[in-house]
């Protein structure tokens, strides 16, 4: 390894920023001027490069395409009250990327390549970080196998990259979800805790079927009994029942969300009772019927907090009360936004300046 990391920067000749329609940002569609690219070969990561955003060339025999060694992360950078730009918990994403890499027999990324690469990239494209309420620069780190080889074994070469895109607030309307009790997202001992591309591919058909029934998302349940809540789409899920914040405990089939962790931390800080444990669909439905369930919401980087309006279970739709401004979900969403934009203190040092 190099003692001091240097990044080779090839700036874009002209910025595309002027073409961006800030009033109509669609998630994941417009990308900032630059991207980070680092190749792994001969057992080590090579010199990181920042270059104009553009296509990559791969072999038709690329083993990520055929056998799925492909992982990613999702993070955000925020415009601060003082005009500067800061990253939210970037090292948590770095650690989770490496946990995903280990699960998929891929090489881990050194901290300096990840953090310095990310900082330099976001600094260079800081003009792309929007400032409207709820908006941010979405950051997509990813790694995939690059061997052009059809033999089934871990690739010997990889590409690690980071691309970014300005985004507005994600879900605007409260979502309709239903328990999924036939298809499975992840099973114990599988790769559900890793952020690997294949988990998403296999979730698309069941999600599409639910969308055809008028739901936005699924509430995944456990693989063996189809009873216990796991998560919802690309979000962890939380309930407030009898004033206690309840969320499924982590396992090999649940993704360890950084938003989940942050929301649980704030709940602890505020003295709210928290339970991380198994939650069954029956418990959720019974608590809705008894009026003891006051809030249900998804938590994740893209949406931050996505209020759940309706939960479908065994052919019945259960409507939840609208979230009041005084609800935990609304308060924690506002607090996270204030921390991320530098409008309030950051007692856990979550923000890292670029």
Per CB under 6 A, residues contacting ligand PLP are: 74, 195, 231, 234-236, 255, 257-260, 300-301
Q: Which residues, in sequence order, are CB contacts of 354 under 8 Å at separation 6+?
A: 77, 84, 85, 86, 87, 119, 122, 123, 126
CB of 111 to ligand PLP, least distance (A): 18
Q: Is 127 exposed, middle or buried (0-12, 13-18, 19+ CB in 10 A)?
A: middle
Q: With respect to ligand PLP, which residue has the nearer C-beta, 210 or 235?
A: 235
Q: Is 258 exposed, middle or buried (0-12, 13-18, 19+ CB in 10 A)?
A: buried
Q: With respect to ligand PLP, which residue has the nearer C-beta, 104 or 255?
A: 255
CB of 237 to ligand PLP, least distance (A): 9
Q: With respect to ligand PLP, which residue has the nearer C-beta, 99 or 272?
A: 99
Q: With respect to ligand PLP, which residue has the nearer C-beta, 180 or 231?
A: 231
Q: With respect to ligand PLP, which residue has the nearer C-beta, 157 or 265?
A: 265
CB of 21 to ligand PLP, least distance (A): 26
CB of 268 to ligand PLP, least distance (A): 17
Q: Nearest-5° angle of CA 149, CA 151, CA 153?
A: 105
CB of 257 to ligand PLP, least distance (A): 3
What CA–CA distance (Å, rounded) separates 135 from 125?
16
CB of 104 to ligand PLP, least distance (A): 14
Question: Checking DSSP bridges between strand 49-52 and strand 8-9, what pairing results, if any?
Answer: parallel
CB of 305 to ligand PLP, least distance (A): 11
What CA–CA distance (Å, rounded) separates 279 from 248?
6
CB of 204 to ligand PLP, least distance (A): 13
The owner of tokens 């003295």 is: 271
The SS3 call for residue 319 is strand
CB of 220 to ligand PLP, least distance (A): 9
Q: With respect to ligand PLP, which residue has the nearer C-beta, 50 or 262?
A: 262
Q: With respect to ligand PLP, which residue has the nearer C-beta, 90 or 312?
A: 90
Q: With respect to ligand PLP, which residue has the nearer C-beta, 74 or 90?
A: 74
Q: Which residues, in sequence order, are CB contacts of 73 under 8 Å at separation 6+?
A: 93, 96, 97, 100, 139, 140, 141, 142, 195
Which CA distances in Å does 263 have to 88, 92, 297, 335, 354? 13, 14, 11, 10, 24
What residues does 239 pair with on adjacent strands? Answer: 246, 296
Which CA distances in Å does 286 have to 21, 102, 113, 293? 46, 40, 49, 9
* The residue count for the chain: 354
Q: With respect to ligand PLP, which residue has the nearer C-beta, 235 or 311?
A: 235
């Amino acid at each position: 390894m190099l003692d001091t990391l240097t990044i080779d920067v090839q700036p874009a000749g002209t910025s595309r920023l002027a073409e961006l329609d800030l009033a109509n940002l669609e998630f994941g569609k417009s990308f900032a001027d630059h991207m980070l690219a680092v190749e792994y070969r001969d057992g080590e990561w090579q010199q990181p490069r920042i270059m104009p955003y553009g296509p990559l060339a791969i072999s038709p025999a690329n083993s990520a395409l055929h056998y799925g060694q492909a992982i990613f992360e999702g993070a955000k950078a925020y415009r601060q009250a003082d005009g500067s730009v800061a990253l939210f918990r970037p090292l948590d994403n770095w650690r989770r990327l490496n946990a995903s890499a280990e699960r998929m027999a891929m090489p881990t990324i050194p901290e300096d390549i990840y953090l310095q690469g990310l900082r330099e990239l976001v600094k260079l494209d800081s003009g792309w970080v929007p400032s409207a309420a709820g908006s941010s620069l979405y950051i997509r780190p990813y790694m995939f196998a690059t061997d052009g080889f059809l033999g089934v074994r871990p690739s010997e070469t990889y590409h690690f990259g980071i691309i970014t895109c300005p985004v507005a607030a994600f879900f605007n309307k409260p979502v309709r979800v239903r328990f999924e009790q036939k298809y499975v997202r992840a099973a114990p001992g599988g790769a559900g805790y890793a952020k690997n591309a294949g988990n998403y591919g296999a979730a698309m058909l069941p999600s599409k079927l639910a969308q055809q029934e008028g739901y936005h998302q699924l509430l995944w349940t456990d693989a063996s009994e189809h009873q216990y809540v796991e998560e919802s789409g690309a979000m962890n899920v939380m309930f407030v029942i009898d004033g206690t914040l309840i969320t499924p405990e982590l396992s090999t089939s649940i993704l360890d969300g950084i938003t989940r962790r942050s929301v649980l931390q704030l709940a602890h800080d505020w003295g709210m009772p928290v339970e991380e444990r198994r939650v069954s669909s029956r418990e959720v439905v019974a608590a809705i019927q008894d009026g003891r369930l006051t809030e249900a919401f998804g938590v994740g980087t893209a949406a931050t907090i996505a209020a759940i309006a309706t939960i479908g279970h065994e052919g019945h739709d259960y409507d939840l009360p609208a979230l009041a401004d005084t609800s935990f979900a609304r308060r924690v969403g506002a607090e996270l936004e204030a921390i991320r934009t530098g409008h309030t203190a950051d007692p856990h040092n979550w923000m890292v300046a670029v």
